[in-house]
Amino acid sequence: MGIGLLDPFAPPNNEYATYNNIKARKRIMVFKNLGHEISMKYKDLEGRWMRDTFALF
């Protein structure tokens, strides 16, 4: 899960509440200077996870 601390559409407190209720293995990346946009660092990590988890390549 990626969280932008400046996000007006998905406020960080809502994101943390959701994250804390997930019972499966999880990982969180917090970006202090981002809003609702996606960091390239997060996009790369998510892409690698999808590839490795679902054997996409």
Per DSSP (E only), the strands in 5-56 are 29-31
Dist. CA 49–CA 42, nearest whole Å? 10
Q: Which residues of 23-42 are buried (b: 16+ CB within 10 A; e: fewer)?
A: eeeeeeeebeebeeeeeeeb
Which residue carries 């202090």 as its tokens? 32
pLDDT digits (tens, 9 = 90+) for 6-29: 999 999 999 999 999 999 999 999
pLDDT at 57 over 80: no
Domain that holds residue 32: 2-54
**How many other C-beta atoms can be found within 10 angstroms of the C-beta atom of residue 16?**
14
Model-level pTM? 0.75
pLDDT digits (tens, 9 = 90+) for 24-53: 999 999 999 999 998 999 999 999 999 999
Q: How confident is the model at residue 1 (pLDDT cuts 50, 70, 90)?
A: very high
Overall domain count for the chain:
1
